[in-house]
Amino acid sequence: MASHNLFERDINPVLFEEKSYTRKVTLNRPQKLNSLTYEMISQIGAALRVYEDDSKIKFVIFKGKGKAFCAGGDVVRVVQYSIAGHWSFAAKFYQKQLCLDYLLATYKKPLVYLINGIIMGGGAGLSMFGTFRIVTEHTVFAMPEASIGLFPDVGATCFLSRLPGYFGEYLGLTGARINGIEMLACGLATHFVLSKDLQPLEDALCELVAADTLTISKLVSKFIYKGHAKQDSFHKRVEIINKCFSRKTVEEILSSLVNALCELVAADTLTISKLVSKFIYKGHAKQDSFNKRVEIINKCFSRKTVEEILSSLEEEMETGTDKWIVEAISSLKSASPTSLKITLRSIREGRLLKLEHCLSREFTLFRHFMRRTVNNDFYEGARAMLIDKDKKSKWEPPQLWQVSEEMVDRFFAEAEDDDEWEDLHLPNRSGLSNQMKPKL
């Protein structure tokens, strides 16, 4: 295993800036894709508590330096400390990270996230419960934890479980990457802005005097990219399709479409023509469209077990060769079988839990992974994917059918007394600052 300096210290890993009634927090480890360290989490938490109590500060802007917003927590450093026997560091790091995520999710002031680039793992934990999650054409989102023998955490068992249909299961199990438009469609993002307009937006935000949520929303809306067919946008089309084609008879569907046309009377003839043609004729519709993809995702990822999900995807392959299905199957077959089963259960049960309960359960799961209660998958995955990078993980056990229900139950069981790993103690707060609002 490659050796690294455990005590290497970054210079100014987080930048804090004052602008009128605004405060900026910039993640400043571009060479490490802004992955979060213990020091960064501590600094951000301390600053946010001060900002929240200062009546002069109206809202906070988050952004990342370089080509990433934040690629996650510094897993390599945590693993290295644990291997060296410093269990308490892993425990404190993770507890502090979850407490920060909870603070952000329940923050009393608007939080504006400018997500221009890669956002994974811990970066999602920082931002997915924020008031404004603004993405661009450069944004790439993923939760690839199962590929390193872990599970989607930092609140993911809450925010993934609340995505439309079974899209959360798809993202969590496969680690699939989605772009800014797709994030907007499923509710992970609130606004889409072209990257060239991000700095002007940031400058305009800093000039605000009255900075309540409504005022910020109106300002951000001025920078939203709407494409070349505003009335015929994908989201508007899906909305009208669901409204019209949910009717019982063909006659009622046709009547509803006519009404839809009347409502679009202000639109130009070309836009209406395109709209009607998409309703009527689907002979040459692109098979790999996002709409079709969601339909197959809901069909396959609604299955009860990981084995059934994989089998269902393989059946879909018999009728087509969509690239995303091939990639999903490949990801499922290469990820830790144990992690996959824990991920599926976590997301499914997370739908019925509040955020604080999801975080508490994630803390319990992480403890078992770090303590190797059942197997060594997390350390092996980190070695193969992040340290040695040979991408040849040797999972224990290597097959899905070998992961018993009893093994999975052990991960969810409360740990016995552990002097180096106390229970999670979240700050006493109430109410989420924002809920997922999918466009699709």
Q: What is the pLDDT of residues 293-313, one digit of tens each?
A: 899 999 999 999 999 999 999
Give me Rg for the CA atoms of the chain: 23
- Whole-angstrom Cα distance, residue 154 to residue 101? 7
- The active-site residue, picked from 64, 72, 121, 122, is 122
* Residue 419: active-site member: no
CATH superfamily, domain 11-229+328-440, is 2-enoyl-CoA Hydratase; Chain A, domain 1 (3.90.226.10)
Q: Which of 89-98, 278-287, 413-422 has the highest mean pLDDT?
A: 89-98
The β-bridge relationship of strands 22-27 and 132-135 is: unpaired
153 is catalytic: yes
Q: What are the structure tokens assigned to 101, written together?
A: 């995520």
| Residue tagged active-site, from 64, 117, 123, 145 | 145
Asked whether the predicted pLDDT for residue 321 surpasses 90, the reply is no
Q: How confident is the model over 201-259, as pLDDT tens digits? A: 999 999 998 888 999 999 999 999 876 334 345 556 767 877 788 788 887 777 778 77
Q: Which of 73, 117, 149, 168 is catalytic?
A: 73
Indicate which residue of 74, 101, 153, 202 is catalytic: 153
Domain boundaries, the chain: 11-229+328-440
CA distances to 14, 370, 391 from 373, rounded to whole Å, are 35, 8, 24
DSSP assigned state of 385: I
- The pair of three-digit structure tokens given for residue 142, joined into one six-digit string: 């993923």
| pTM above threshold 0.85 | no
User: Under a CB-based contact definition with an 8 Å cutoff, are residues 347 and 160 in contact?
Assistant: yes
Residue 440 has pLDDT above 50, yes or no: no
Q: Which two tokens stand for residue 380?
A: 């092996």
Strand, helix or coil for residue 269: helix
Of the pLDDT bands very low, low, confident and very high (cuts 50, 70, 90), residue 273 is very low
Residue type for position 295: E
Is 212 among the residues known to form the active site?
no
232 is catalytic: no
